[in-house]
Amino acid sequence: MDILFRKSKKNKNSNNLKVIVKPNKGLKQRRKSLESPIDIIYSKCCCCGTNIPVKANITKFKCGICHVTTILTPVEMTDNNIIDKDLVCSVTYLDSIIKGCLSKVKSQNSNDKNEKYKALEPISRYVTDCFHNYEVLERSFLPKSKYQSHTLIDYQELEKFYKLLMKLPTRRPFYRMLCASNDLLKKPGNALNYIRWLLIIWEIPFVRYCLTSKVYSKFDSPEIRAVSYELTKRCICYLSNISKTDKYAEYIYCLKYMDSDIFLSNVEKINLYITYQLTRIMYRVIRRNVMKDKKNDNLFNSNANNNNFETNNDIIRNSDPNIGYNNRNSEPADLSPASDPLIDDLWNITPEDIKTIEIDRGGKTLRPKGFKFKTSQYEHNWHIRSACKLMLILDLANSKRGGNPIENYNNASMSASKFYNTMLDFLDNKQDFEVWRGLDVGNRLSLLLTEWSAPQNQNNSTRFSFCNYPFLLSLGVKISIMEYETKRIMEYQAEKAFLSSLDKGKTIEVYFKIKIRRDHITHDSLKAIKEHQGDLLKSLRVEFINEPGIDAGGLRKEWFILLTKSLFHPTTGLFDHIKDSRLCWFPINSSSKADTKIHSQNEYYYLLGVVIALAMFNGNILDLKFPKALYRKMCKETLTFADYAELYPETASNLIKMLQYTGEDFSNIFCLSFEVTYNTNEKDNKGSKKSKKPNVITVELCENGSNIPVTQENKVNYVKAWIDFYLTQSVAISFGLFIDGFNRVFSNCKSIGLFSSEELERLLCGDEEHTKYDFQMLRSVTRYQGGFMNNTPVIIWFWEILEKWDYKLQGRVLQFITSSNRVPATGISTLTFKISRLGARDSEDLPIAHTCFNELCLWEYGSKAKLEQKLKVAVTESEGFGIR
């Protein structure tokens, strides 16, 4: 290339120079080819999902983000691409090769490492050939027994295969297997039309080990960790994109019947991957803060000699702050855990310690005080996006696990807490929630297809938010988000009322005030709610007529408790009290909705829905005896046999016996048809035409069900119809009114959608302690006022008395002070608890409780026995503002 500098011909007197570039002949030809019109299309990377501009006529391209080659035109496999049509991964064959190689090593009796490596080369060659070809993996580790027909892989044989490799005296065959797997993942080609090969690689032990700092075996090395990390990120990406393939249903089926330990391991692996990516974000924030301080220039070099990892990407020892970053998109370079020395320190720190984290380097420390993950730090991170999408698939599969009484598989549904990622406790949840509120997402499953439904030449405009994946957020984070939204709604309603009062020239309450009589609590509450439908979203204030007291939270708690107790009383007839389970459920609706007697009763179902919603909206705990089926229906989750068994355990046991009976005389033994018979409590009901008893009603479970006998072939359908009748159809009217009342409060509160049924129950009812309360934990967070301290004799006696009392009395103490004997969903340590001194003298008066502030007021009693006697009278005989 020639560069000439000439003066401009237009103005000879000018000193401006004109730069003339004369490209060589090769560049001219290249420019000529570029000047020709080229059709550019946007194609998504099959791994990270990045939109890449490519020529329209190419058959494949390589992504510059994840370095994976995407095939645009399917390639037909030829015999040259297949190593051996009979080659499979086999534990037996691998074991025979290992024994032959080890015997050869022993016979050589040489200390030369090269000779040993050469003797073990057949092992490396065998695993490389197997893991370099997806077709070999597809026909390997197939389930052999009928008990494994529900799985895609024989996980026991696969585990033995990996253990054999990890017991070798050298890590070379294992490392070669990892490299072969990585080559296959980088150029998958037609392999993405299948899934078994991917699940086999996903189960390699170091796929999980590489994300932790713990050394697991002699095989642990920076090289193995680095390659394992490459496998981890690509497996997660491919599996997260499986929803757009025809293998999605097969994968869901595999997850549904997967062994509980393996399923939990998958959840933990993905959570570890998310945690690692978030740790990198936190590390970069720390590093940026340190780079701003010139006094810490030597911080990164002080312990360089102690670095366990030797890598060219050592971002700790580089003084240039841009090293380790991708200049193309200003995103950090994709470093493996082996390339992040500081990560080793961060892994040893629990999330609970992050607020006070101290990383000692050269006598200096780094403290990310009040650190919060901002949306800008993770919303464009393709690692986190793909991991969350895959976790969404596992969460959907988890909702389908278990629930079948005749299946003896170890596939119980996991608790919601198993999916929590504790690193997200340090999420800027308000900012993330605001991003989520702007999204218009129909349901969770649609999230899997949203990204792929956009035009090819456009990037997906949907912003990423962790609230789209609420199963990752702990219950405490979700509660704080709800408190943030409800507080904002209450403030808006108060401001709106204030402005309306100025505009209309009359007083408008900024609170939702309820005035009730203690003896007519149900009637007065229903009247107040009906008359103030527009005030339900205001901050609630309760006043008991002819009683002293200003509501600062305590009266509101008492109103909720007394009202729910009244509504659930057997005399109201609103609920059936099931003796077998000691739970309450809606009665079967045998009368029409137009019935005036039933219509007056139905108002109470609407009232209960409003009351329960108000309790959640105002942060109060209720003592409810509903089964899990209610909360699952509220969250629109699918009901299972386990839900019915919890409510009707005796009937469920009989249904299981029927399902397990396999005799040919089934129809003659049971003599059942598709209909159900139940008793009604309505005295004026004359019964059905088929039933001779006046209070017995028979209903068909399907059309012409009385003429359809239950047989071996349709008995499962009969049980499904039976459960659907008792949990859904028969209670449709009363539950519909209940949910209408609930939605009247929460229709505009989106944070309620973050909670699963399990979390919704804990949020509403708290955690009930069945044996003993953890008062040691409560004592550690208790605050003292008026001169009391933790070592004051009265305080010491108080805690000793509580520890000595039985469970019921402990509950009465908690209810006396807080108006509820239940522990908050986030634990007793989150309960605000205070003990104050009434006076510096002995007294005959009883202790006093301020339930508004969870405060107990004690006198300076002269003895422990006197304190115990006064406290017992106070907690067992008190009601309202006095002694009953």
User: Which residues are annotated as catalytic?
Assistant: 852
What is the number of H-type helices and E-type strands within the chain? 32, 20
Query: Cα(878)–Cα(884) distance, rounded to whole angstroms?
Result: 6
Contact 564, 611 (CB under 8 A): yes
Q: Show the tokens assigned to 27.
A: 């560049």
Q: Show the tokens assigned to 30.
A: 């290249």
User: Residue 530: beta bridge partners?
Assistant: none
Contact 659, 423 (CB under 8 A): no
Q: Show the tokens assigned to 42.
A: 């946007």
Query: Cα(81)–Cα(191) distance, rounded to whole angstroms?
Result: 13
Q: Show the tokens assigned to 570.
A: 């057997």
Who contacts 865 (Cβ-Cβ below 8 Å, separation ≥6)? Answer: none
Which amino acid does the sequence have at 610?
Answer: V
User: Residue 326: beta bridge partners?
Assistant: 331
Q: Show the tokens assigned to 267.
A: 């959840």
Who contacts 642 (Cβ-Cβ below 8 Å, separation ≥6)? Answer: 402, 403
CA distance to 371, 379, 468, 541, per residue, from 484 (Å): 19, 22, 17, 19
Nearest residue to 647 via CA among 623, 626, 633: 626
Which amino acid does the sequence have at 387?
Answer: A
Q: Show the tokens assigned to 464.
A: 């990423």
CA 66 from chain centre, in angstroms, equals 27
**Residue 679: strand, helix, or coil:** strand
DSSP 8-class letter at 464: P
User: Residue 856: beta bridge partners?
Assistant: 835, 849
Contact 611, 603 (CB under 8 A): no
Cα angle, residue 399 at apex, residues 397 and 400 outer, rounded to 5°: 65
Contact 196, 137 (CB under 8 A): yes
- Scanning the structure block, which residue is given the tokens 């370099």? 132
Which amino acid does the sequence have at 751?
Answer: S
Nearest residue to 753 via CA among 743, 738, 762: 743
DSSP string, 431-456: HHHHHHHT-----HHHHHHHHHHS-T
